[in-house]
Structure 1
Amino acid sequence: MTRGFVTIATGAERYFDIARNLLWSYRQFASEKYPFTIICDRENEYTAEFDDVILLKEAHGNYLDKLQLYKYLPYDETIFIDSDSLAYGDLDEWWDIFKDAADFSLFGYAWTDLKSGRGWFVPDGTGEFKDRISFIPDFNGGTYYMRRSERCRKVFDLANYFAENFSQYSFNGFTTPADEPCLALAMAVEQCMPLDIKEKGLVFAPEKKDIELDICKPLAFYHGKNCEEGYLVNLIHWSNYRTKLALYKFEVRKLTALRERKTEGIIYSLFYKYKIKYYMLTILNINAYMVRAVNKIRRSIRNF
């Protein structure tokens, strides 16, 4: 029985850079250090640091690459992690969490009230699959657990079918195909339940006010919106946009210092413990905000 982790990077060099950051964070805190594979469209200095490299036969640079994961599974049990993530704990603990999970699973929630309007699809809009729906998965697609099996293959076959025929079914929050709604419907049809686990799981794109972070400890404590809840997580899924902002860059600078054993002394204290480096990096946020605003305006004009 082989086990390991996998991520995907295609296109611009920055995607390979953040994938390597994920790898570094995993190895920094992993107890067993399972092999870590990168699936990509080319080899370079970043991919050289991974245990294995798998080249995509046809890279799309979007959700379609994730829907091809089953074809490229390198291990009997594989945990996929989006490259725009950082580990804040021992991810090897996840093997115990997923040991009794379905052949395809993830961190999320299953809505059993089919009239709730929650989750990634509308049961009444699932056509010929309606009678096979007993729950609606709700999750962030930052991580996927996959066991090499016929059932897992069926989940991916269905997800690709839904992506190709997206307009024939009813999805919540998505007007165009994406991996999350397509996999959610496929999970429901194949009765693959998500795991409702917060502690040691992941948080998606946290606001600075909602989370206490220090990758050097490591610490990632999510306070929750309006401090309604609180729990420790082992992974932060930043989202592509937030990897361009100061908070992510600051955490990566600290990770580098940790790897180089430079977390002691006056320089580290000034720049990192007292967050001087973070405040300096916030200047770069201005450019990221402006680029995002321009892109939104362009999309609005195209859709007008």
Structure 2
Amino acid sequence: MSDQSRSRGVVYVAWGKAHVDVARRSAASVKKHNPGLPCVIWCAADDDATGFDDAFVIPADMTRPKVGALKLSPYDETLYLDNDTMIRADLSSLFDLLQKFDLCGAHVMLWHRPRHKRMWQTKVPETFPEINCGVLLYRKNAKTEAFFDDWQAAYDAAGMKIDQPTFREVLWHSDLRFYVFPPQFNKRIFEASELVYSDQPKPRILHLPILRPQKNGFKRWFSNLIR
């Protein structure tokens, strides 16, 4: 299969109206800057999936849907996005990484903090920090399928509520081709200097807590301003 004929798409996982609504907003930003790039969502059977190209029901036995659904992507090349993301540019160059690599992600920004150094079974060098699993790019092949199986098994065995420590350790032991893409494709802090003139690269994917479902009226209003 040629690179030109490989299917590409975006995958979300959400359940409950508030989270699906936030994912829908993210998907709309994908389509605004990437016309023709399809978006699908894994959600509950009764969730409104309007705005997505397709929807799949999260199986009741899927212990961590975010982990379990990745292997089941309908695309050859997949960009997984957390719901609290906003796309601000064309993503073609990001997908182009999959001409060479199997799996890509960005480092956790505050990797030096103790909570991002939690160990399960393997003491990993601090110079191999956690990957933020809210933006992941991957090819569908035997290596990534095996990696997702191993990650799921590690997550279940570890008993942690968070998935990044096990991702880090499974990645450390893996031989798949992994690449760390620039932080602008998983921008966790929106700096004031970027709102005015700056020679810094512009954020391509915002991934901000303010974009999550907000109960506070002001935060909800501010969240809706970010486009």
- Band the TM-score falls in, shorter-chain normalisation: 0.7 to 0.9
Match of 1:19 in 2: 23
User: Are the counterparts in 2 of residues 9 and 39 from structure 1 also a CA contact under 8 Å?
Assistant: yes
Measured in 1, the distance between the counterparts of 2:80 and 2:54 equals 14
How many corresponding residue pairs?
Answer: 214
Decide whether aligned partners of structure 1 residues 210 and 58 sit closer, same or farther in structure 2, where only a CA change above 3 A counts. farther
* Fraction of identical pairs, as percent: 20
Decide whether aligned partners of structure 1 residues 160 and 33 sit closer, same or farther in structure 2, where only a CA change above 3 A counts. same
User: Are the counterparts in 1 of residues 77 and 98 from structure 2 also a CA contact under 8 Å?
Assistant: no
Match of 2:99 in 1: 99
Where does structure 2 lack aligned partners over 5 or more consecutive residues?
1-5, 109-113
Paired letter, 1:182: T
Deviation at 1:122, TM superposition (A): 4.8
Deviation at 1:6, TM superposition (A): 0.7
Measured in 1, the distance between the counterparts of 2:127 and 2:69 equals 24
Q: Which has the higher helix share?
A: 1
Cα-Cα RMSD = 3.4
Larger Rg: 1
Matching of residue 186 in structure 1 with residue 156 in structure 2: no
Deviation at 1:161, TM superposition (A): 2.0
Length-normalised TM-score, structure 2: 0.77
Q: Deviations over 1:61-120 (max 9, x none)?
A: xx811110234211111110001111111233321244322x2221238xxxxxxx8964
User: Are the counterparts in 2 of residues 108 and 139 from structure 1 also a CA contact under 8 Å?
Assistant: yes
Paired letter, 1:79: L
Where does structure 1 lack aligned partners over 5 or more consecutive residues?
110-116, 168-175, 214-218, 224-228, 256-304
Match of 2:42 in 1: 39
Larger RCO, structures 1/2 (Cα 8 Å, 6+ apart): 2
User: Are the counterparts in 1 of residues 19 and 212 from structure 2 also a CA contact under 8 Å?
Assistant: no
Paired letter, 2:33: F
Q: Deviations over 1:151-192 (max 9, x none)?
A: 11121122122222217xxxxxxxx34221121211111134
Match of 1:198 in 2: 183
Aligned 1:26-175 pairs, distance under 5 A: 26-30=30-34, 32-45=35-48, 47-58=49-60, 64-101=64-101, 103-108=102-107, 120=117, 122=119, 125-126=121-122, 136-166=128-158
